Structure 1
């Protein structure tokens, strides 16, 4: 893993010249299905850069990566660097100000993705290539429960449901991905600053970009009386 992090650092330095600067972090391998697929027993993390974040109203080129894939994700925004001392969900909620619907656009990069494992995924910066943000949702205390209890639905361009996943699919609770990242960054000698975006990981499997012209992710039960969603369309 030390070698993988060294490679990641060199790779991100090259990316930074093209799509930098740093805007946050991606946590990967946070669902049971993704850990099983890649033979991992813990998450992994890598930096996100500002050029990786795209508005939902702009179509995305289908070949945005060498092995382009889509995942139903979720992001939060750091409001207070005190998040580095967070030890439970309440302390995480107190240190973030937004929850954001997020579709991540992943690039598995290699000729045979079945050969990837936690170390090689770390080396390729956890496949971070881009992502589409929905409208931000202000944090409220009820999200300590609704984030885990919600149902995340992903549909194609025709409204066909491709999958439904519980919020708890991410490490039992999406905020546990933040707590894991805090510990991981502390071990790396890194910190989080106000304004950083944190991508918390996939609720379900990866979907091939070649299969559909659009994907929509909806978060049912996250906010009472609302159905927050985000969509990406390919051209």
Structure 2
């Protein structure tokens, strides 16, 4: 069993290294060796994430939701992992539909098309049901999540990405709220284009067979970890298709059946 003081020191140092990498836009080597290597405990990785979450809150940043990662089989294969994770969404990570994201802000960004849920009731039960999520959801929106690993060349394991706030960096929500009863969450088709080129496609069921499965998992997990979802929170339920590398000057348009569209624009250098 590792010495608790050594583990605590490693957690603190990894949290600081990830924060410094983000601020300097300079990626670092995989951090899993410092957290136990192949035997690393997922709870230790979440402890790293929590340190940086609390630091952000102490600095006055506003927590506005969570993202669920690694819910698409296609994305899991891309990254070589086999389970979901979560990360924190802060207000300063949000960009408007079509608003230019400044060049040089991110290290190695990629984009994912997702379904976002905005809740108007707290989710504080130990075990949630579809009914709990449906009753708590005010409306849904199309969304783009911008992921950006602080680990060099995206050489990440589940431990690396969890510690790194699930590789979350920014997000864009559509502007036309839609009620769940008007949507087919399982069979809705998603198409992402860059200019005239189709760069990613998928359907709602690519997200854990149903985005509500992802939302139930998240709600339960957040209660277990002491940061339950609260009224007003945004849930990014997970990617509907493969992530796509973003370059300066790129413009991505996501269209999801029943949801409308949302655009992510990256400023040119």
What TM-score results when the alignment is normalised by the length of structure 2? 0.78
What secondary structure sits across from 1:181 in the alignment?
Answer: helix
- Provide the rounded CA distance (Å) in 1 between the counterparts of 2:254 and 2:59: 29
TM (norm. structure 1) is 0.88
Question: In 1, are the aligned partners of 2:128 and 2:220 still within 8 Å (CA)?
Answer: no
TM-superposition CA deviations, 1:179-213 (whole Å, max 9, x none): 01012112212211110001111112221112862
Which structure has more relative contact order (CA 8 Å, sep 6+)? It is 1
Q: Secondary structure at the match of 1:93?
A: helix
Distance 1:62-1:40 versus aligned 2 partners, 3 A rule: same
Unpaired runs of at least 5, structure 1: none
1:192 is aligned, of 208, 213, 229, to: 229
Aligned partner (choices 112, 115, 118) of residue 71 of structure 1: 112
Q: Is the 8 A contact 2:94 2:170 kept in 1?
A: yes
Match of 1:232 in 2: 264
Whether contact under 8 Å (1:62, 1:209) holds in the other structure is no
Larger Rg computed on CA atoms: 2
Q: Secondary structure at the match of 2:185?
A: helix
1:148 to 186, 189, 192: 186
> How do residues 62-141 of structure 1 correspond to structure 2 at under 5 angstroms?
62-82=103-123, 84=125, 87-113=128-154, 115-141=155-181
Counterpart position of 2:11: none
Residue 86 of structure 1, CA deviation: 6.6
For structure 2, the 5+ residue unaligned runs are 1-41
CA positional deviation for 1:79: 1.1
Determine the structure 2 residue equivalent to 1:177: 214
Pair 1:166-2:203 in alignment? yes
1:160: how far off?
Answer: 1.9
Aligned to 2:106, the other structure's residue is in SS state coil
The alpha carbon displacement at 1:151 in A equals 0.2
Report if aligned partners of 2:124, 2:228 keep a CA contact under 8 Å in 1: no
CA contact (8 A) 2:200 2:244 kept: no
**Distance (Å, rounded) in 1 between the aligned partners of 2:70 and 2:249:** 24
- Paired position in structure 2 for 1:22: 63
Alpha-carbon RMSD: 2.0
Alpha-carbon distance in structure 2 between the residues aligned to 1:184 and 1:17: 23
- Equivalents in 2 of 1:17, 1:210: separation in Å? 32
**Native 8 Å contact 1:217 1:229 kept in 2:** yes
